[in-house]
Amino acid sequence: MNVPLKASLVIAVLRWTARIVGTLVLAFVLVMAIGEGVPNPLRLPLREQLLFLSLALMLLGLVVAWKWEGVGGALVLGGFACFALVNHGIKMNVVFAPLLISGLFYLLCWWLTRRKPGSSLGN
């Protein structure tokens, strides 16, 4: 698929912005987990287990998106939606705003670069 130079530049900027922001979020969560310790999810109340699972889904999505942008972005946004549903909303902060941005940017990159059905490789 031939992508115009301007569009490919936009896609590259979106992709690397999502990767850098996502990596910073992963690093932040890792530092927090090391400093505070990770609780045993099986000993948490059900609501907190669901929140923990939602956050884990978002973080997994950030890792998966390096290889498969569509799947990773969907995992991030799916985990984000689950977290918001269980928590009755999300207050945007240094973790959740970048997660949302990364997930949206990964999905946008996937959508902009996917091959159109019925198009040949030479077109």
What was the pLDDT predicted at 122?
42
HSE-up (13 A, CA, CB side) for residue 108:
18
Q: In this predicted model, what pLDDT tens digit does every residue of 71-96 receive, in sequence order?
A: 999 999 999 999 999 988 877 777 78
DSSP per-residue letters across 20-38 = HHHHHHHHHHHHHHHHH--
pLDDT beyond 50 at 123: no
- Distances in Å between the Cα of 94 and the Cα atoms of 86, 97, 99, 122 are 20, 6, 9, 44
